[in-house]
């Protein structure tokens, strides 16, 4: 049963996450910081506060390999890429506002994951991947609790592919929800663009996170040759899960160009 937004002030986030999403978060989760955001008035104020919570939590659990604030940096770049695509696609101001907030906060659920997994300096084991995959649901819980709206929460919850031991495939639950999302004409394009932007940044900035990208050698070679954008485009073009009816070639290239531009900054 959904909890009305007005009732969230009387419900702790710990109880909300447990009752509404069946989540058990790490022991030192920043519950008070999340609850403080509920009292803010505008979506942009709430978004800014949650971005701050994410960054501060990252710094408290800075990994030994000194990848400072990598989730926050990735989220900021993903936002810029998504908005560049949305601008070219002709999204409305309201759509771009929702998309921007969802992009900035799409990975905030990782503050609910054991930092030893989030910041692991090496490939994740299968059980660690399963734990990491829950960050989508945690993100959705945080955004809904903060009152940022169903569209932002859904976009965050459905933004990325699930990785399994058999490769980059969606599990049955995500595949089903992905199909259901297509029935919501106002939300589905936001999810599709966010997914593309997230993927684009992960590939262009393949070396900007503790654990290696599974195609790191390919992208590293392309970066040395000055063909990184072409290599990323090829991978995106071959991805069977991206909706090519929405994400046509021009939009893909706009996102890649913005990502490569930021990498050079």
What tens digit of pLDDT does each residue of 65-113 get? 555 688 999 999 999 999 999 999 999 999 999 999 999 999 999 999 9
CB 20 within 8 A of CB 2: yes
* Higher per-residue confidence, 256 vs 67: 256
* Higher per-residue confidence, 20 vs 61: 20
pLDDT higher than 70, residue 214: yes
Distance CA 35, CA 217 (A): 42
pLDDT higher than 90, residue 265: no
Distance CA 110, CA 117 (A): 10
Backbone angles phi, psi at 201, to 5 degrees: -65, -40
Q: Ranked by mean pLDDT, which of 115-129, 168-182, 227-241 comes out on top?
A: 227-241
Closest CA to 143 of 188, 193, 102, 115: 102
pLDDT higher than 80, residue 176: no
Structure tokens given for 213? 């990208």
Q: Which CATH number does the domain housing residue 162 bear?
A: 1.10.3210.10
To the question of pTM greater than 0.75 for the whole model, the response is yes
Determine the structural domain holding residue 86 and report its residue range. Answer: 5-264
Quick: pLDDT tens for 109-146: 999 999 888 888 888 899 998 898 888 889 989 999 99
* Higher per-residue confidence, 154 vs 190: 190
- The pLDDT, as a whole number, for residue 7 is 54
Distance CA 9, CA 38 (A): 7
Domain count, the chain: 1
For CA atoms 26, 32, 35, 41, give the dihedral sign: negative
């Amino acid at each position: 049963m959904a909890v009305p937004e007005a009732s969230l002030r009387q419900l702790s986030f710990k109880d909300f996450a447990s009752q509404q999403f069946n989540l058990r978060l790490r022991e030192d989760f920043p519950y008070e910081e999340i609850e403080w955001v509920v009292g803010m008035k505008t979506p942009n104020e709430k978004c800014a506060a949650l971005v701050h919570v994410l960054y501060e939590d990252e710094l408290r659990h800075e990994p030994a390999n000194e990848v400072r604030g990598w989730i926050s940096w990735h989220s900021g770049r993903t936002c810029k890429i998504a908005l560049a695509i949305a601008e070219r696609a002709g999204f409305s101001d309201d759509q771009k506002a929702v998309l921007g907030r969802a992009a900035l906060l799409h990975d905030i659920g990782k503050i609910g994951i054991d930092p030893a997994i989030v910041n692991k300096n090496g490939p994740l084991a299968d059980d660690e991947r399963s734990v990491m995959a829950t960050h989508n649901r945690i993100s959705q819980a945080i955004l809904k609790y903060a009152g940022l709206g169903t569209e932002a929460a859904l976009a965050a919850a459905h933004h990325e592919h699930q990785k399994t031991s058999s490769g980059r495939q969606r599990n049955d639950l995500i595949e089903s929800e992905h199909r259901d999302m297509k029935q919501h004409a106002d939300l589905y394009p936001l999810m599709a663009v966010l997914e593309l932007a997230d993927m684009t940044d992960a590939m262009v900035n393949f070396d900007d996170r503790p654990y290696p990208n599974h195609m790191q050698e390919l992208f590293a070679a392309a970066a040395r040759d000055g063909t990184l954008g072409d290599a990323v485009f090829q991978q995106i073009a071959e991805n069977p899960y991206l909706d090519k009816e929405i994400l046509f070639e021009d939009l893909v290239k706009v996102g890649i160009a913005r990502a490569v531009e930021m990498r050079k900054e």
